[in-house]
Homo-oligomer: A and B are copies of this chain.
Amino acid sequence: MARTKEFDPDAALQKAMELFWERGYEATSMSDLVEHLGIGRASLYATFGGKRELYLKAYERYLENGVDFVGLLSQPGPVLPAIRRLVELYLEESTDPATAPRGCLVVNTAVEVAPHDPVVARRVEQNWDFVETALTSALTRAKAQGELPAGKDPRALARLLLTVLQGMRVIGKSSDNPARLRDAAEQALRVLE
């Protein structure tokens, strides 16, 4: 017994996520969002709450649509080719002029928002944990399958890869030198041999 929503909340959240992704938290105003989402101001507040809550929901939406680590790394068979594909995926997104400037929303959030918002900081750290865990279990499996030398430490290697991936995203945001990140990615992969 109510009026139906005129807009699709899912599509609106997607657009909000893209705007936050491109411009950052502080530089994106509620008026910008109202304009780009094509919905009324009050509808925005009624559906998503204030700016901070909307950002948190946009952040989660980003994670849902992001790189599928588990799907990529948990496939049966050899592990290292999957890790190579993962690194190359990050490399492409970090060097392509169309996608590099926006970087990764998690990195952007870690840098701009997390230091001033404990809730956000926890979410970001959970993501680091998640990626690290996915890489660790993949490398552990690789070691069991003989793809990784016996002396290597899967968790330590996962932590190096995690750090390199985020570093690539940062440098890609302000550099149009693909060779730089290509070399870094290649050297990072060579650690696994």
Contact = CB atoms under 8 A, between A and B. Distances in A.
A187 interface: yes
Interface in A92-145: 101-103, 107-112, 114-116, 120-121, 124-125, 128, 132
Interface in A156-192: 156-157, 159-160, 162-171, 173-177, 180-181, 183-184, 186-188, 190-191
Contact of A164 (B109, B128, B163): B163
Interface residues of A, number: 52
Contacts of A23: 116
B159 A183 contact: yes
Which 4 A-B pairs have CB atoms at the shortest separation, nearest pair first?
A167-B167, A26-B26, A163-B167, A114-B174
Given A26-B26, A107-B170, 10 more contacts: A102-B115, A110-B170, A110-B174, A115-B174, A156-B186, A159-B180, A160-B188, A163-B167, A163-B184, A166-B170
7 contacts: A23-B116, A107-B111, A128-B177, A162-B180, A166-B167, A169-B170, A170-B170
